[in-house]
Structure 1
Amino acid sequence: METSDNATAAEETTPEPERTGIAAQDWATASAVPQYRAAVVDLLGALAYGELAAFERLADDAKLAPSLEDKAELAKMASAEFHHFERLRDRLAQIDAEPTAAMEPFAKALDDFHHQTAPSDWLEGLVKAYVGDSIASDFYREVANHLDSDTRSLVLSVLDDTGHGNFAVEKVRAAIEADPRVGGRLALWARRLMGEALSQAQRVVAERDALSTMLVGGVDGVAAGFDLAAVGEMFTRITKAHTKRMAALGLAA
């Protein structure tokens, strides 16, 4: 999963929060809370399937590449995504969770998203990877604030930039400069992607009780209710980051 330097303004300006509760613990300590362990299995399963899907999508997008150089660049990025998937799969096995079973609950939501947002050309594919993957990264970074130190480190490392963000910005801006009419079409496409991606994220949160409770900081030995206000604030932050990414692409939000 990738983000660009331009896409992480919120991350760069937000100070490191003071860690308390489970977020201040390591995995060995935090995993003693059954609900927290279940939430981490959910999280790693969702992220692992997302990385596997990203690998498959980048491999498909390479077929639309206009040059061998572009094709090779996407192949390199696809390889990085698969490496991320392997790390998550191995971590699931390490904590005695069956990787396929952990990924299965999230497969349909992600597959539906990719089916509903299949790009029609090379530029739409680049915008989808940049916008869609960055929204997912923002979501997982929000979740990471509530994770134990070991799991947080793993999640943040697999969200590292594979280079696709800057690559997409460069190619899309060049295309708009060459033909300004392209900008309007891609802006509409990006808005559609934003709506679909947020719906998918909300669906995942709502359907997995342990994950939603952890997301709002409610797994510290006692279960908290589903805090709609806190989740709403999170999605507001994600939307603001999306607006900045649109500007980086040269598109109207």
Structure 2
Amino acid sequence: MTNGSPSETPSAGVVDLLGLLAYAELVSFFRLSGDAGLAPDLAAKGELAGAAAAEYRHYRLLHDRLTEMGVDPEAAMEPFVEPLDAWHARTEPKNWLESLVKTYVGDGISGDFYRVVAKVADARTAELVDGAVDDDERAEVIGARVRAAVEADPKLAGPLSLWARRLVGEALSQAQLVAAHRPELAALVAAGAERAGEGSGRESDLAAVSRLFAGLTEAHSARLAAMGLST
């Protein structure tokens, strides 16, 4: 694995991991900026604008790290543009609350995923990834917004719970698709899954991706409960 020295060639799996996360952060910046414009009150607008700004800072850190490693950041992100854009197109929210749930659930489960995978990369990459997916403060704000809406209108709980489950299913399908086309990233995921106790050396890398996502459901259930939703 690379330690950031220009004389060393970074592993393809780490480049893929950083490229994938960098593009995800960039897209999240645009989406949160749009959500801020649709927010129903000034407090929510400010909260989401701050979250968008944080996503852009994360994107720049990842972009700069790729450059430091001697990698073209745009080239590293390019393989993930189509699959991530396709996921967002298939999970387009119908309203502001669905958008909040998507941010909360999508960022939560993908953040868990990135952390597990980064643990088998070099220390610098693991630290950078941990910082980029640290969303506790934002998650608390968004979760509180959804919970308040559900408490005000309990009929929202059922549809929003179904929406959250659909988001997870779509995320798993997209992760499998990406892994099938990026074998170095899939191998890194498999190593992360094995270290986390969610896989074994006897299964394929693609099977490890599926098993890892399945193993993240406990945290996902806790996030739903924090929003006042059911699993």
Number of paired residues?
A: 221
> What residue is the counterpart of 1:116 in the other structure?
90
Encode CA deviations 1:1-42: one digit per residue, 9 max, x unaligned.
Answer: xxxxxxxxxxxxxxxxxxxxx6xxx6158x95x6x6111111
1:192 pairs with 2:166: yes
1:159 pairs with 2:137: no
Paired residue type of 1:39 = G
Per-residue deviation, 1:188: 1.2
Decide which moves more: 46-55 or 182-191.
182-191
1:95 corresponds to which of 61, 69, 82: 69
1:1-253 → structure 2 map (5 Å cutoff): 27=3, 37-161=11-135, 163-217=137-191, 226-253=204-231
Distance in 2 between residues matched to 1:160 and 1:132, nearest whole Å? 13
Distance in 2 between residues matched to 1:150 and 1:88, nearest whole Å? 11
Distance in 1 between residues matched to 2:88 and 2:137, nearest whole Å? 21
> What residue is the counterpart of 1:9 in the other structure?
none
Paired residue type of 1:111 = D
Per-residue deviation, 1:225: 8.0
Asked if the contact 2:25/2:55 (under 8 Å) is kept, the reply is yes
User: TM-score, normalized by length of structure 1?
Assistant: 0.81
Distance in 2 between residues matched to 1:67 and 1:106, nearest whole Å? 34
Asked if the contact 1:92/1:99 (under 8 Å) is kept, the reply is yes
Paired residue type of 1:100 = E
Superposition CA RMSD, Å: 2.1
User: TM-score, normalized by length of structure 2?
Assistant: 0.89
Encode CA deviations 1:96-128: one digit per residue, 9 max, x unaligned.
Answer: 100111100001111111111111111111100
Q: Provide the identity percentage.
A: 51
Decide which moves more: 196-205 or 170-179.
196-205
Distance in 2 between residues matched to 1:186 and 1:227, nearest whole Å? 32
Paired residue type of 1:243 = S
Paired residue type of 2:216 = I
Asked if the contact 2:147/2:227 (under 8 Å) is kept, the reply is yes
Per-residue deviation, 1:134: 0.8
Per-residue deviation, 1:216: 1.9
Per-residue deviation, 1:229: 4.9
Distance in 2 between residues matched to 1:58 and 1:176, nearest whole Å? 21
Distance in 1 between residues matched to 2:207 and 2:175, nearest whole Å? 16
Distance in 1 between residues matched to 2:210 and 2:94, nearest whole Å? 32
Distance in 1 between residues matched to 2:132 and 2:64, nearest whole Å? 13
Asked if the contact 1:77/1:164 (under 8 Å) is kept, the reply is yes
Runs of 4+ in 1 over 4 A off after TM superposition: none
Q: Which runs of 5 or more residues in structure 1 are unaligned?
A: 1-21, 219-223
Paired residue type of 1:212 = A
Encode CA deviations 1:161-202: one digit per residue, 9 max, x unaligned.
Answer: 263211111111111111100111111111111111111122
Distance in 1 between residues matched to 2:16 and 2:162, nearest whole Å? 33
